[in-house]
Structure 1
Amino acid sequence: MIPGSFDYHRPQSISEAVGMLADMGDDAIIVAGGHSLIPMMKLRMALPEHLIDIQDISDIKGITVSGSEVTIGAMVTQAELIGSEEIHAVCPILRETALQIADPQIRNVGTVGGNVANGDPGNDMPALMQALDATFVLAGGSGSRDVKARDFYEAAFFTAREEGEILTAIKFTAPPAGHGYAYMKQKRKIGDYATAAAAVMLTLNNGTVSSASIGLTNVADTPLYADAAVAALVGSSLDDASIKAAVEAAKSITDPAIDGRGPKEFRTHILGVMVERAIRAAAANAA
C-alpha cells in the first residue's frame, strides 16, 4: 500500500526537533531509519500529518567509551555498532545481537535508537538493553531526563517516552572484563523477528556465578528481564539443576502472542531452549 500524505521536516538540532514536536503535537512522528515506521505507514496503521526526520542531527550520532562507561547515540546504525572495535572490546554481545537483526541492507540504515524507542516487542535490542541495565536519555521541552531500560516498556508499542520527547542516547556500564555472553535467537528465516530469543551475561569466580543478567525477546507484550532466572544462577556452579531452574523461571514469566510463529506453548518451549543455550554459551566463553 501507499502511505497517506504528510509534510516532511528535517531539523538540524535536538532543540529544533523538540520544538517541532511541541508545535505539531500528535500530528507529528519522529523517523530515524524508518524500518519500523514506514511499513506501518504503508499499512495505514500510522497516519502522521508531519514526519520529522532526525538524520541530520549530529549530536545524536557516535559512540563514546570512557573507561567502563559507554554512550551510544540514538542515530548510530546497527552496521556502525557492528563495526565498532571499541564497543566490541568492552561489550561483544552488542555485535553478536546486531548481526542477528534483519539483513545487511537494513542494518546499514536501521538505528539502535529506533530499535529500542518504539516499543515493538519483536525488536532485539530492548531485551539486551535490559540485560545491560542500560539507561535511555530522553530530550523534551522541559529538558533531558534518564529512564532505565527496565522501566521504559509499558505495553506493545507503549513506552515511558512522553509526548514531545525524543530518545537521544543509550548509556550503560560495560560488563566486567572476562564476562561470558550470548544472544540466542530462533527465527523462521533470515531477517525475521524472533520466535523467541534470550540475552545472557554472567561472570564466574572460581567456577561460581558471581553475577548474571537475562533479557527475553518477543515472548510478551514487552521485553522481559528475568529476575528469578538470574537469582537461580547467581551463587551456583551452573550445574544442570540450577540451569533448569533458571530456564523454568524464565518460561514462567512469558505470555507470547499467538501468531504465525506458533502457539503460546510452542513459543514458550522455544524460549526455554534459547535460555539454556545462551547460559551454556555464556559460560563457555567466560574467562
Structure 2
Amino acid sequence: MIGTRTVYHEPTDIAAAVDLLAANSTAMVIGGGTITMPRLSDGQWHPEHLVDTTALGLDRIHVEYDGTVTIGAAVTYSKLSAAASAVPGLLGLVASGITGGPQIRNQATIGGAACYANPASDIPTALVALDARLTLHGHQGVRTVAASDFFQAPFRTSAHRAELLTGIAIPAGATANPFGYIKLKRSESSWPLAVCAARLPDPTRCTLVIGAATPTPITIDLALDPEIEHLAPEQTAAVRDHIDATIDTWWFDELGTAAYRRHIAGVAATRALDQALRRARAQGGDQ
C-alpha cells in the first residue's frame, strides 16, 4: 500500500515532462516502475508527483547512418534482447541475463537502471564498457554525458534534478569489438556481487570495466600479447594483482563484504577476458 498522496502525470512530450520536473521539487520519473513502485509501497520514497515516460516515445531503438546505436531510455530489457541484429552483443547479453526473470525483463527499462545507479547492477558497467553517451533534456537545453562521467557515486548520477534521460547512444566502433561479460552472484534472484565487461579494441590491448564490486564502474586498460589465445595461470595471477593494486575502494552491502567482492572481482575479470579472447579467435577464424 502506498502511504503518500501522489499525483500521477503522463505527459505526451518531453518539454512537458521537463516542466513538471522543474515545477515540483518532489517529482519522480517512473519508467517501468520495477524500482519505484516497491519503494513507494514500503514507504522508502515519498514523491508527491510521479512523471510517467510511457507516452514520450522513448521505447525505440535506432541504428544511425554512421552505425551508432541509439536506445531510448524507456526500452525494456526484453526489447533489447529481441533486437539482436541492432543491439551491441554485450548489451544484448546483459539484457537477456538480467536478475529477476521475465517479469522484470518485460517491464524494467535501461534508462531506469542507469538513473538508479545501483552499484550492484549490470547496466552501469555495460554502458561504460561500450563508451555510451547519455542524452539529458532540461530547461537549459539538451546535453550529452559520457557514461564514465554519468555514474558519480552509489545511487547518484550527474543528471540534474529537473533533467530527463531520453536516450543512450553507443558508437559503432564499440559494437564491433570482441567482448566478454561475466556476472557473479549468490543466487539467480540476487543482485550481482561482481561484474566485468572485457572489450578488445585491437589485438594488443584490452579494456576491462569492473562493477558491482565497486561504488562506480572502474576502467582498467591492459596491454596484450597479440599472439595470446587464452590466459595462462601466471597471466591470470598478474591480471588479478593489477586489479588489486589499481582499485582502492570496494563496494559492500548486505550481500557481500568489501573483502569478498575484492576477491571475486579478479575472478570475474579474468573470466571475462578469457571469454573475449575466445570470441576474438572465433571472429578471426570466420575471416
* TM-score, L = length of structure 1: 0.88
Partner of 1:61: 59
Q: Residue by residue, what CA displacement relative to the aligned partner does 1:242-270 show, whole Å, maximum 9, x if unpaired?
A: 54333333334153333332322221111
CA distance 1:18–1:188, change in 2 (3 Å):
same
Q: CA deviation at 1:57?
A: 0.7
In the alignment, is the contact (CA less than 8 A) between 1:32 and 1:75 conserved in 2? yes
Task: Please give the secondary structure, in 2, of the residue aligned with 1:190.
Answer: coil
Give matches, 1:25-64, under 5 Å.
Answer: 26-58=25-57, 60-64=58-62
Please give the alpha-carbon distance, in whole angstroms, between the structure 2 residues aligned to 1:28 and 1:92. Answer: 35
Please give the alpha-carbon distance, in whole angstroms, between the structure 1 residues aligned to 2:215 and 2:42. Answer: 21
Please give the alpha-carbon distance, in whole angstroms, between the structure 1 residues aligned to 2:160 and 2:31. Answer: 18
CA distance 1:185–1:145, change in 2 (3 Å):
same
Q: Which blocks of at least 5 consecutive residues in structure 2 are unaligned?
A: none
Q: CA deviation at 1:126?
A: 0.7
Partner of 2:9: 9
1:250 aligns with 2:243: yes
In the alignment, is the contact (CA less than 8 A) between 1:219 and 1:254 conserved in 2? no
User: How many residue pairs get matched?
Assistant: 276
CA distance 1:234–1:41, change in 2 (3 Å):
farther
1:275 aligns with 2:269: yes
1:201 to 199, 202, 211: 199
Letter aligned with residue 131 of structure 2: D
Task: Please give the secondary structure, in 2, of the residue aligned with 1:145.
Answer: strand
Q: Residue by residue, what CA displacement relative to the aligned partner does 1:98-141 show, whole Å, maximum 9, x if unpaired?
A: 12212111110101111112221122111111111111100001
In the alignment, is the contact (CA less than 8 A) between 1:194 and 1:217 conserved in 2? no
Task: Please give the secondary structure, in 2, of the residue aligned with 1:86.
Answer: coil
Please give the alpha-carbon distance, in whole angstroms, between the structure 2 residues aligned to 1:254 and 1:107. Answer: 33
Letter aligned with residue 16 of structure 1: A
Percent of residue pairs identical: 32
In the alignment, is the contact (CA less than 8 A) between 1:96 and 1:182 conserved in 2? no
Please give the alpha-carbon distance, in whole angstroms, between the structure 1 residues aligned to 2:52 and 2:73. Answer: 13
Q: CA deviation at 1:176?
A: 6.0
Partner of 1:154: 152
Task: Please give the secondary structure, in 2, of the residue aligned with 1:194.
Answer: coil
Partner of 2:74: 75
Partner of 1:263: 257
* TM-score, L = length of structure 2: 0.88
Please give the alpha-carbon distance, in whole angstroms, between the structure 2 residues aligned to 1:11 and 1:177. Answer: 33
In the alignment, is the contact (CA less than 8 A) between 2:137 and 2:166 conserved in 1? yes
Partner of 1:113: 111
Q: CA deviation at 1:158?
A: 1.2
1:183 to 181, 196, 202: 181
In the alignment, is the contact (CA less than 8 A) between 2:204 and 2:223 conserved in 1? no
Please give the alpha-carbon distance, in whole angstroms, between the structure 1 residues aligned to 2:150 and 2:81. Answer: 24
Partner of 1:133: 131
Letter aligned with residue 5 of structure 1: R
Q: CA deviation at 1:93?
A: 1.0
1:231 to 219, 222, 241: 222
Please give the alpha-carbon distance, in whole angstroms, between the structure 1 residues aligned to 2:86 and 2:108. Answer: 18
Task: Please give the secondary structure, in 2, of the residue aligned with 1:215.
Answer: strand
Partner of 2:98: 101
Partner of 2:214: 220
Q: CA deviation at 1:3?
A: 4.4
In the alignment, is the contact (CA less than 8 A) between 2:213 and 2:252 conserved in 1? no
Please give the alpha-carbon distance, in whole angstroms, between the structure 2 residues aligned to 1:177 and 1:119. Answer: 23
In the alignment, is the contact (CA less than 8 A) between 1:232 and 1:242 conserved in 2? no
Please give the alpha-carbon distance, in whole angstroms, between the structure 2 residues aligned to 1:245 and 1:146. Answer: 37
Query: Larger deviation: 184-193 or 172-181?
Result: 172-181
In the alignment, is the contact (CA less than 8 A) between 1:232 and 1:243 conserved in 2? no
Q: Residue by residue, what CA displacement relative to the aligned partner does 1:184-227 show, whole Å, maximum 9, x if unpaired?
A: 011111132101111111145xxxx334322222112222222x
Q: CA deviation at 1:45?
A: 2.3
